[in-house]
Amino acid sequence: MWPRSAVTNHYHKAAFPENAGNNSKFVMVFGDSHLRSLVDGYVQMPKGDLHFGYSCTPGICAAALRKEVLNETLPEEPDLVCLIAPGNNLSKNTFQQAGKEFASLIRSAQGRWNKVVVIDFPNRLTVEFPYQDMLRQEYHRVAASMNVRYLSTVDHFPARNSDLWCRDGVHLSDDHGMPIFAQLIWCAAYFHLKVPQGIKTTLAAPRRTIRRVTPRLVVRGTPAAPPQR
């Protein structure tokens, strides 16, 4: 069993890479229980010139995750910090309050590190999808207002494919769902670190993947309405 965090009293575990190459960039990922199999090593990140650290706190909401972000001690300065959008806020408060907590989370991360990107939470089969989309849209609005990239993942986890989830319908399965999620994190980090700002491109999945994944980057800001006829 994992130890409890002295900061939030949630179960918590951090994992950091070893023997990273000199030219490899360090990416630190903060999130809830979706990172558990990455922390414990049941699922591996795709190979490449990136190395990853993880801070996983199951059951955490945005306000508590902010505390972990502020207090986590890292072995080196990260080139990029990835925040997994906290899906646990679905049951914690209203969307407006969740948006405020999420903004504080991003602001705290930006206060410690220069580069921050947000990765969307996977859908839960136990919660109505429109309800989850409302929280997702609030997160996107907040991230766009703070000039932070927000990577959507919802299209890569279709509800008709139940193999992507564990039996609880909340967490992704280690053999099907989590490898895709790991690829999405890898691609988000690669895009942010390797592709200059302002360049429009389609993210390609890393080689030697289990499933083909083409992440879609959500456009920052409010999209313009189509012209009326």
pLDDT at 208 over 80: no
pLDDT at 15 over 70: yes
- Tokens representing 101 are 């907590």
Task: Tell me how far apart the alpha carbons of residues 94 and 92 are, in angstroms, rounded to a whole number.
Answer: 7
- Binning pLDDT at 50, 70 and 90, where does residue 196 land? low
Q: What is the pTM of this model?
A: 0.84
- Binning pLDDT at 50, 70 and 90, where does residue 18 land? confident
At how many degrees (to 10) do helices 129-145 and 95-112 cross? 40
| CB-based contacts of 70, cutoff 8 Å, min separation 6 | 108, 112
- Binning pLDDT at 50, 70 and 90, where does residue 206 land? very low
**Comparing 3 with 212, which gets the higher pLDDT?**
3
Q: What percent of the chain has pLDDT over 70?
A: 83
pLDDT at 60 over 70: yes
pLDDT at 147 over 70: yes
CATH topology of domain 13-218: Rossmann fold (3.40.50)
User: Which pLDDT score is estimated for 24?
Assistant: 87
Across the range 136-160, mean pLDDT stands at 95
Place of tokens 């409010």: 222
Helix segments in 51-176, DSSP class H: 62-71, 95-112, 129-145
Place of tokens 């909401």: 61
User: Which pLDDT score is estimated for 21?
Assistant: 61
Domain boundaries, the chain: 13-218
pLDDT at 22 over 80: no
pLDDT at 162 over 90: yes
Q: What is the pLDDT of residues 96-140, one digit of tens each?
A: 999 999 999 999 999 999 999 999 999 999 999 999 999 999 999
